[in-house]
Structure 1
């Protein structure tokens, strides 16, 4: 057992809130009781933690160093409480991912999960900011890229891109060979610098043996979903991930004149907060996403 734990709690409150009076109010004790605990801690350590002058009080240099370390410990204890609270919260499961993945892949597949588990509440959060699992209200995160800053994760699938467009774009002038696609307006996807670049039209042209120089002129999008929506609207060809255009291909809103695919450089991965697995249905939800990822890997790879 840590000696003088109560005194440590009092000292942390004094340093955080700036005065004995404020700490006493937060802790629900008298200022005299706070001062008594500080004196007890100082006697135990053999150093002066507070400079006292009339009504003024400030941490000594040793007090500032000690308080910084003590506060880390109490912050960790508070976080442990939050983790336990989330683990016991049966109000639902929160899944975070990149906006395009939520809008075009998981946001569509989630209806399959709901059909099997109609009583389970699932919240989908589309964001480019990577959440801190275990500290934020997020249970699962679908990442893109090989670097995952979390202890618990598994690879889902690696996607492939194909040139896709709205049927009306090529109705009057259908391409006779893959290189003819480059004569049409091209929509570009330029991801944020933290990700390995997606395959570009220059990469695709090179892969089909075309020596045509493909510039970056025209419309560029940071979100893949925005570029896909522009293609559906007939604005041009997009190098689209197969996982993100399954519905558009099935309904005929997009077509792939020549199925020449390029593989993304990095995989998608699923990470999770271990405490969240204690939530009702969380283990089943995790297995369902992994199964969906394996199926997508088979669908996206060249046949």
Structure 2
């Protein structure tokens, strides 16, 4: 017996013949002539070196060994059909997956998604909030919202906007510390810190902001609490634990709702923009292209905004 796999067309003809019971029926199902089916069956017998068909009167039937062989072949073709159904459903799925940095997703994207969903009512959106950057090779039909250098790892990316930072606090904190509106006095009040991690060394911190405001004799800044997530730092500020150097895109809703108050119009620009990234097949689906076009429209005013003076 030949140890290599038989030709796929021969296996397909054999599977179809065994399932439908005749050469003519198999030919109609495959869209070929009966002679072509018979030829493929003979090729299969020659390849495996086993008699698969015997004549029963004028009809050909499977031998006992061929029936067992056919059952196994049918299972294989069944799995192939399931795989094909899966990939078609995956390609045509009306589900959009977006992975993003937690606070960017929570405080910025979530505020805007209803606007996109209003124009795509049957679309299900899966949002994954994680600091972990996906494997670029696995980013097939998923968008990734990320920051700075991390975008370079992906095949496709576009800059969304570059954020700015300024101090905010809760109304209760400002009532207890009305001097917080003065930078020199704010430096001596309870401050909340954000730890960007080892990879990010140029992002604004409290000392950068005080120096930009010309504050002299800046004290050794020891935040009352340091968070690794901007969202947690903002929650601490809303709870009145201290002032935080917040990103404008993350606090717009809290400012609008009155949960936080801006302490100064002076701001510092982030050194890098936020990006949307995607893989080689992400834009194969119309819903993905629609989402990308929508997001670029939404962020166009942010990209065109002139750099404000510190």
The alignment's TM-score, normalised by the length of structure 2, stands at 0.67
Alpha carbons of structure 1 residues 180 and 137: separation in structure 2 relative to 1, 3 Å: same
Counterpart of 1:265 (choices 249, 260, 271) is: 271
Structure 1 stretches of 4+ moved >6 Å: none
The Cα shift of 1:173 comes to 3.3
Asked if the contact 1:160–1:301 (Cα under 8 Å) also holds between the matched residues in 2, the reply is no
Alpha carbons of structure 1 residues 233 and 86: separation in structure 2 relative to 1, 3 Å: farther
Alpha carbons of structure 1 residues 111 and 98: separation in structure 2 relative to 1, 3 Å: same
1:120 equivalent in structure 2: 123
1:279 equivalent in structure 2: 285
Counterpart of 2:206 (choices 197, 201, 204) is: 201
Query: For the pair shown, which has the larger CA radius of gyration, 1 or 2?
Result: 2
Distance (Å, rounded) in 1 between the aligned partners of 2:195 and 2:228: 5
Alpha carbons of structure 1 residues 237 and 248: separation in structure 2 relative to 1, 3 Å: same
Residue correspondence of structure 1 range 73-152 to structure 2 within 5 A = 88-136=91-139, 139-147=142-150, 148-152=152-156
The Cα shift of 1:215 comes to 2.0
189-198 or 244-253, larger mean C-alpha shift: 189-198
Asked if the contact 1:84–1:275 (Cα under 8 Å) also holds between the matched residues in 2, the reply is no
Alpha carbons of structure 1 residues 224 and 5: separation in structure 2 relative to 1, 3 Å: farther
The Cα shift of 1:187 comes to 0.2
Distance (Å, rounded) in 2 between the aligned partners of 1:177 and 1:200: 17
Distance (Å, rounded) in 1 between the aligned partners of 2:113 and 2:220: 38
Asked if the contact 1:157–1:297 (Cα under 8 Å) also holds between the matched residues in 2, the reply is yes
Gaps of 5+ in 2: 7-46, 49-83
Alpha carbons of structure 1 residues 209 and 89: separation in structure 2 relative to 1, 3 Å: same
2:9 equivalent in structure 1: none
The alignment's TM-score, normalised by the length of structure 1, stands at 0.68
The Cα shift of 1:120 comes to 1.2
**Matching of residue 164 in structure 1 with residue 137 in structure 2:** no
Gaps of 5+ in 1: 8-35, 38-80
Counterpart of 1:246 (choices 240, 247, 252) is: 252
The Cα shift of 1:269 comes to 0.9
For the residue of structure 1 that corresponds to 2:178, the secondary structure is coil
For the residue of structure 2 that corresponds to 1:281, the secondary structure is helix
The Cα shift of 1:171 comes to 1.3
Alpha carbons of structure 1 residues 196 and 90: separation in structure 2 relative to 1, 3 Å: farther
Distance (Å, rounded) in 1 between the aligned partners of 2:101 and 2:261: 25
Distance (Å, rounded) in 2 between the aligned partners of 1:173 and 1:258: 14
For the residue of structure 1 that corresponds to 2:281, the secondary structure is helix
Alpha carbons of structure 1 residues 188 and 87: separation in structure 2 relative to 1, 3 Å: same
Report how many residues are paired.
230
The Cα shift of 1:194 comes to 2.6
Asked if the contact 1:153–1:272 (Cα under 8 Å) also holds between the matched residues in 2, the reply is yes
The Cα shift of 1:273 comes to 1.8
Residue correspondence of structure 1 range 41-60 to structure 2 within 5 A = none
Counterpart of 1:222 (choices 218, 222, 228) is: 228
Asked if the contact 2:209–2:268 (Cα under 8 Å) also holds between the matched residues in 1, the reply is yes
Distance (Å, rounded) in 2 between the aligned partners of 1:152 and 1:178: 41
2:195 equivalent in structure 1: 190
Distance (Å, rounded) in 1 between the aligned partners of 2:156 and 2:208: 34
